[in-house]
Chains A and B, each alone.
Chain A
Amino acid sequence: MAIRRGRGVAAINYPTGMNLGGDPTQALVHSTPTGNFMVTLSSVDLGQGMKQIMAQICAETIGVPTDRVVVDTADTDTGPHCMGTFASRGTHRAGNAVIQAAKEARQVMLEVAAEELEVNASDLETDGQGNILVKGAPQKSISIFDVALSAHFKRGRSISGRGMFLIPRSYPEKETGAMKPSTCYAHACTVAEVEVDDETGEVTVLTVKNVFEIGRALNPKMVEQQLVGGSWMGISHALYETTEPYYPNRDHGGTDFNQYLMPGPGDLAETEIIVLERPSGDGPYGAKGPGEMCANPQIPAVANAVFDAVGVRIDTLPITPERILRALKAQAN
């Protein structure tokens, strides 16, 4: 009886969005009288930080600092339609809608600035700090604060824009299954290292090294929180969780966190996250949807590492000590 070590690898891809029904999301953007910007949506922030990302996308597109953007979302009296937050679609779909709306608003903003500065709108650029400058002659400038005041009180313009994302619905061809099920794909490869106690069947995940390709890390800290959380969830899925431990038997289902097993802080592996960026052609600033895929590669990587350690295949999830011990016993016979 011994503690045995093994490692395993898995590589995956993951589709962005749900192309069933065209996957629509709409957005509205408008400026306040003093040049702050409101993004209005009906998308839902599940805790992943959608509001922050939409603010950064709007700010980048209009050319203002992020703290001048406020996101008002998930009120059906004010926000335009969003299909929902699922299918790794939030950042991609809503982000594209916000870019389109923000571009339209930016154009009006530049037109008002052009009238104030008596130049052509096409000769103007933003400095990202809240000012609009004449290209090549930055001394000639106007603040966005003053542009918004002018639009509201002097020139009667609405600095606003409408945006939407929609792709044609794909109906799978009946006989061949030809279809366009999604837009861009995110990628991952994970190497997991485990120790398996062949006396108790207990698995300890020592290290998990994850490489994720996500198009573009729009906010690296938020990307990190999602990818680390996903990696932990993957380990939990591989080794711990089920509402029906003896599926298809309905008995013994957990009803609280004492009975429904999940890893505690001491059970979490040393986790390494490396991010690659191959911008997608159809994503907002190249972003893909990594929200779901980041929890997938750990599961087979851990399963393969368990085999590498003790030489038994557990092809049923979760990979519990009981299943490992039964497999070891069967192997010994």
Chain B
Amino acid sequence: MELRKSYFADVRKDDLHEIGQARPRSDSPGHVTGKTTFFADRNFPGMLHLKMVRSPHHHARIRSIDTSEAEKHPGVVKVLTAKDVPHNVYTILILIQIGPEDETVLADGKVRWKGEAVVAVLAETERAAQEAAAKVKVDYEVLPAVFDMEEALKPGAPIVNEYHGQNYYLYDSGECRKVRFGDVEAGFAEADHVLEQSYQSSPIEHAPTETTGCVVAPEGNDRFTCYTNTQAMFFTLDNTSIILQMPGSKLHFVGGTVGGGFGGKVDVIVEPIAILGAKLTGRPVCFIYSREEEMQISSPRAAEKVVIKDGVMKDGRIVARKVTGYTDAGAYSRHSPYGAQKGAGHYPGPYTIPNVWIDTYCVYTNRTPSSAMRGFGVTIGDFALEVQMDKLARLIAMDPLEFRFINAYRDGDMKAHRQPTEGAALIECMQEAARAANWPVAEKYMAMSSYKKGA
């Protein structure tokens, strides 16, 4: 890595003692010698293991659940169903008033995705819990499922989630989050070329080294200590408090040493049910996802579809951009309504375009609920935007990098969501990339700056 100090030297004082120093990380020796304590290193006498019975169907009504054989299995201590969870229907962002509550801790009457948790089994050993889980009998009536976002949005599509009532998240702005800036149709009319293209991604996995999980110990004073690898301590504690209808003062969460998160550990999934298990048995409980659960049960990055329509002039100026984004939330909201909204705030990318129209939809389908991941709401949008930029440049026979210089945002430029640009540095990044890659760029672009006089 090289620090190029020549850029922005006029706005930076390099007079600090500790900041800017490549001090060795204090936690590295522990990590590389195996001495760091992770949550799963906690072991308590009498600790129970929790395993989930999961839905084999994408969408089904639950006619009945029979746990009698599982309860008789040697080593089984407790079997939990929906009726054991005090506030079973929840949603994570309710803490900041983003509803409705739309997801069950344990399925109640219905399953909406293949892999959904239905029954929790607590046993003396992992093996006993697994074997007993296989003995739980659930009678399902399979229902039609919908997997394709376009199908889900059509009238008459099976309703994925009754708590929403339609297969998209209803924002205060309607069926999508909207950004309107300038007159996009006038921009297309004026453009020399109009190009509309569609981009698609598939879900991906966070693939952390350490799978999601927690270990819960009941304390002598009626409190519960939960050792967890959550990415958000109080978010998890406060949601657990709601789900278990238990005062937050009874809960003590300990974490902060995590073997990779990438956004996969911001959902509140394992802690509430493990603490409930500890409460109802009076025993320590451990609930750790297997690698298979981490890959197919825990939230992936959403699949997204992005449709971009641009109007461009022969001289390289983009005069209009319309973006329609679809985020496949799967069966439940989790953080997806926020992710789709974040996309609306991100488009049309780091370019100054006078006419912009953005609609972003959060769509429900019968698949594993997606949620936050590194680059949430932005990564797939950037893929679509930057491939589109390449296509536009070739359409008007212009160098792709020079085309970006023409449209790059600079200090003071008004963004589509009506915030003035501050602290821009796109131009300088492109200049340095051109130098590093020996990519020939006309001198006038290499002389540009993100600063604007008077800005």
Interface contact A256-B349, CB-CB below 8 Å: no
Smallest beta-carbon distance B50→chain A, Å: 20
Neighbour of B25 across the interface among A49, A212, A278, CB < 8 A: A49
- Interchain CA distance A248-B3 in the complex, whole Å: 43
CB of B258 closer than 8 Å to a CB of A? yes
Neighbour of A76 across the interface among B251, B258, B367, B382, CB < 8 A: B251
Neighbour of B19 across the interface among A83, A87, A285, CB < 8 A: A285
B445 contact set on A, CB distance < 8 A: none
Smallest beta-carbon distance A119→chain B, Å: 23
B409 contact set on A, CB distance < 8 A: 13
Interface contact A291-B25, CB-CB below 8 Å: no
Smallest beta-carbon distance B169→chain A, Å: 14
CB of B406 closer than 8 Å to a CB of A? no
Residue of B nearest to A169 (CB): B96
Neighbour of A46 across the interface among B3, B177, B231, CB < 8 A: B231
Residue of B nearest to A127 (CB): B17
Smallest beta-carbon distance B155→chain A, Å: 19
CB of A237 closer than 8 Å to a CB of B? yes
* Residue from A210, A215, A286 whose CB has the most chain B CB atoms within 10 Å: A286
Interface contact A43-B256, CB-CB below 8 Å: yes
A75 contact set on B, CB distance < 8 A: 252-256
B428 contact set on A, CB distance < 8 A: 187, 213, 276, 278
Neighbour of A276 across the interface among B4, B291, B349, B385, CB < 8 A: B4
Interface contact B98-A20, CB-CB below 8 Å: yes
CB of B5 closer than 8 Å to a CB of A? yes
CB of B148 closer than 8 Å to a CB of A? yes
A66 contact set on B, CB distance < 8 A: 18, 21, 23
Neighbour of B424 across the interface among A63, A82, A187, A291, CB < 8 A: A187
Interface contact A241-B259, CB-CB below 8 Å: no
Residues facing A in B415-443 (CB within 8 A) are 416-419, 422-426, 428-430, 432-433, 436-437, 439
Which of B127-135, B276-284, B372-380 lies at the binding interface? Answer: B372-380
Smallest beta-carbon distance B229→chain A, Å: 8
Which of B61-69, B71-79, B202-210 lies at the binding interface? Answer: B202-210
CB of B386 closer than 8 Å to a CB of A? yes
Given A74-B254, A249-B147: A86 and B263 interface contact (C-beta under 8 Å): yes
Smallest beta-carbon distance B253→chain A, Å: 4
Smallest beta-carbon distance A7→chain B, Å: 7
Interface contact B387-A315, CB-CB below 8 Å: yes
Smallest beta-carbon distance B289→chain A, Å: 12
CB of B27 closer than 8 Å to a CB of A? yes
A138 contact set on B, CB distance < 8 A: none
Smallest beta-carbon distance B452→chain A, Å: 14
Q: Interface size on A (CB < 8 Å)?
A: 127
Given A44-B255, A301-B386: A180 and B20 interface contact (C-beta under 8 Å): no
Interface contact B199-A315, CB-CB below 8 Å: yes
B338 contact set on A, CB distance < 8 A: 18, 20
Smallest beta-carbon distance B54→chain A, Å: 13
Interface contact B232-A84, CB-CB below 8 Å: yes
Given A84-B235, A172-B344: A295 and B375 interface contact (C-beta under 8 Å): yes
| Contact digits for B1-30, partner A, Cβ 8 Å, 1 yes 0 no | 111110110011000111111111111000
Neighbour of A281 across the interface among B20, B423, B439, CB < 8 A: B423
CB of B114 closer than 8 Å to a CB of A? yes
Interface contact B295-A52, CB-CB below 8 Å: no
B423 contact set on A, CB distance < 8 A: 184-185, 215, 278, 280-281
A212 contact set on B, CB distance < 8 A: 429
CB of B350 closer than 8 Å to a CB of A? yes
Interface contact B365-A248, CB-CB below 8 Å: yes
B256 contact set on A, CB distance < 8 A: 42-45, 51, 73-75
Smallest CB-CB A-B distances: 8 pairs: A74-B256, A84-B232, A177-B179, A181-B345, A300-B386, A21-B96, A213-B425, A221-B22
Additional A-B contact list (5), CB under 8 Å, known A255-B296, A300-B390: A65-B18, A73-B256, A250-B58, A257-B291, A317-B200
